[in-house]
Structure 1
C-alpha cells in the first residue's frame, strides 16, 4: 500500500491545473488567475477631487465660476484667482492647485476665502496603478476585491483556470439517494460531502448518480460522467459486488494509488484514464469514505483548479486511540485552546463522531497522547 503522506501528496502533484480560459470579471470571480493581469488604463483614470469643496487655482481669495459633479463635464481649466465648486470623484480642471474642503472655506456670494491648504486633496491619474502595471499575479484567486481593483484598472476579462467538475457515482443496490428506504437499504452519505469538498477546492460537483452493482452499468456511468473527475463510492474493495478494478482495467486506467496504509479508509484509490480524466475510489463505509475524500479527492481538485496545496495545521492531540503500526490512524478531533482532543467512538461505517468534530487528526504509528499530529479540516 501507499503511505498516507505519499498518497495525499501524489493526489496533488500528479495532476496539472486545467487549461486557462478567458472569462469576464463576474464569471472569473472565485477562480484562480492563470497569468498575471495588468492594468489596461490608469487608476484613477483622471485627476479627481478627493473631497467635496472648491477646486482653486493660485492664492486666494477665489471667485467661483462653475460647479461640477462626479460623472459630469465641467470647466476644462481654471486660472489663478478662479474656483470651481466640486464633488468628490469629479474631474479636476486643469490649472487646479488644490481642492479646499467646504469646512475650511468661507464663502460670500461667489467669493471664497480659506487659509492656504496643507494638502491638495487631488487623486492624481495613475497614482494607484499605471497602464501595464501588475494588478493581480498568477496563482491568486480572483476575489471580489481583486475583481473590483481590476475593473478600476479597465480590465474586462481575466485568464483563469476553470472549475473542475466532479461527478459522484454512488454504487450499491442497497443505497438510496432520495425517497423512502426499503428493507436492507441505506441513505446516501457521500454526495453531500463530495459537494462540500468540491466547493472548498474551487470545483463544481455535478448531481450524484446512483449506479447498481453491475459492471456494465458502472462502465456506462463512467463513460457518461461528463466531468474531469469521477468519484466512485463503494465498489472499491475485492468483494463480489466490487467491480471498479475490473471496469477500470478494461478501460486501461493507470492506478497511481491502489490502497493507502491508513485506518480507516485503506481501500481508497486514484486512477488516471487514458482520456485525461481522473477516478477517485472512495470506500463504501461513510467514515472511511470521508477519510479517503480528504486524502485524495480534495488535493486533486485543488490542483486542477489552480490552487496551492493549502496550509498544514499540526497540533498536539490528546486522548485515546490505538495507533496503526503499518500506517496512520485517522481520528476525529475537536479543537480547543490550540490543542486537539480525540472524539471517541469513531467507526468506519458511522459519521456520528465526525459530526461532533472540527477536524481529523492523522496519527503516526509512534503517536502518544499529547504529541503533535497533522490535522485535516472537515467540510
Structure 2
C-alpha cells in the first residue's frame, strides 16, 4: 500500500481550522462495495443512486374518499383500493368511485373528496364542491432517471426509504474504516480502584463513540506501559486503517510516539495544534498508508483532539460529505487563547444559543459530561458572539 499525500502542510503548531481541514481532505478508503439497501444504514454512498421507477408510478389518490367527476351529487359506480386493479371504465360526469389512499385514480376523475367531507346515502355522494384535488401525479416526486441520493450522502432511514421507493435494491458504498486504540501509560488501569499514582482509563468510550458517529468501526484497544518498543510493536501489529494513540503525545520522557512513528518510516502531517486544551495532538501516516491519530493523555484534551482530528478523518475515510458547521451565539465567561482557539463545553439554551459551563479542565470530563457541545472560541471572541459548536458524542 502506498502512502497517500494530502498536500504540502506546515506541521508546526497548525491553526485549529487548518488542522481540521487536513483531516477532512483525506480521500475515501478502498474500492466501493455493493450492499443491500436495508444493510447500508450509516454507510456513505460511493455512487449516485438513479431512480428506476417513478414516484408515484401512476396517478393515485392522496386521501381516502371518493373520486368524482363533474358537479355533485355523484352516483357511486365502483370501488378501487391500493394494490387493486384500476376501475375498468372511465368516470362519466356525475359519477364517483370509492377510493383508498394510493389507489389508481379512475380515468376522468376531477378530484378526490375525503370521506369526512362527504355524505353518502343509497350510493349517492353529496359534498361541497372540492377546493383541492387530492390527486398525486405520476412522477411528481421524481421521474425515472433522476438522482434520488448522491455520492457522499450517509444512508439514513429516509435515504434508504427513498432509494427503495426508486426501485433500487442494492447500492454502492464506501467501506467502513476500522479504528484501533492504543492506550499508553504506566499509571493507567482499566478496572478496579486506583491506588496512589494510578488513574482509570477514560479514552475508550470517547474514541468508540466518535468512530461510530463518523461511520467507522471501533475494532478494540490495547493498554501498554510507557515503552517505545511496545508502542512500535502495537503499531506494527494492528491492521486497522486508523490507529489512535492516547498519551505519549507531548514532549516528556514518557512520550515516544513521534520518534517511534518516524523511526518506522512514517511521517507527520500535523504535529501540534494551536488550541487549548489539546495542543499536543497530531496526525501521522505509516509507510504502508495507515493513519495515526495522537490524542493527549488528559481526558478532555483527548476528546478535543478526537473532535478536531479523529472524527473528520474517519468520516472522510468513510466517504461522507463534510459535516455542515453548527454556529450559534455563545454566552458566558471564557478567557480566549491569544495564540489559537480555546475549546469549552457548553449547553444549548432555549433561545437558539449556547451557554459556557464553568470549571472545565484538560484532565477532567466532569464539565463536558453535562454539555451538549464544545464551543470553538476564537481569540477575538466576546461574550454573546457566534462560535462554531462541535456536538458531544
Q: Indicate if the aligned counterparts of 2:24 and 2:313 stay in contact, CA closer than 8 A.
A: yes
Instruction: Give runs of aligned pairs for residues 107-146 of structure 1, distance below 5 A.
Output: 107-108=121-122, 112=124, 114=126, 118=130, 121-146=134-159
Unaligned runs of 5+ in 2: 1-11
Instruction: Give runs of aligned pairs for residues 330-345 of structure 1, distance below 5 A.
Output: 330-334=343-347, 342-345=356-359
Could you tell me which residue of structure 2 aligns to residue 11 of structure 1?
23
Q: Indicate if the aligned counterparts of 2:328 and 2:354 stay in contact, CA closer than 8 A.
A: no
1:255 aligns with 2:264: no
Instruction: Give runs of aligned pairs for residues 1-379 of structure 1, distance below 5 A.
Output: 1-5=12-16, 6-13=18-25, 15-19=26-30, 20-55=32-67, 66-73=78-85, 75-78=87-90, 80=92, 84-93=97-106, 99=112, 101-102=114-115, 103-104=117-118, 106-108=120-122, 112=124, 114=126, 118=130, 121-305=134-318, 306-313=320-327, 315=329, 318-319=332-333, 321=335, 324-334=337-347, 342-365=356-379, 374-379=388-393
CA separation in 2, counterparts of 1:12 and 1:106? 63
**What is the RMSD computed on CA atoms of the aligned residues?**
3.4
Q: Deviations over 1:2-48 (max 9, x none)?
A: 233322222222x0123433332222233333333221101122333
Secondary structure class of the residue paired with 1:271: strand
TM-score for the superposition, normalised by structure 2: 0.80
Cα 1:57–1:165, aligned 2, differ >3 Å: closer, same or farther?
Answer: same
TM-score for the superposition, normalised by structure 1: 0.82
Secondary structure class of the residue paired with 1:208: strand
Cα 1:134–1:116, aligned 2, differ >3 Å: closer, same or farther?
Answer: farther
Secondary structure class of the residue paired with 1:352: coil
Q: Deviations over 1:199-245 (max 9, x none)?
A: 33333323332233333432332234342211110122343433322
Superposition deviation, residue 155 in structure 1:
1.9
CA separation in 1, counterparts of 2:301 and 2:80? 67
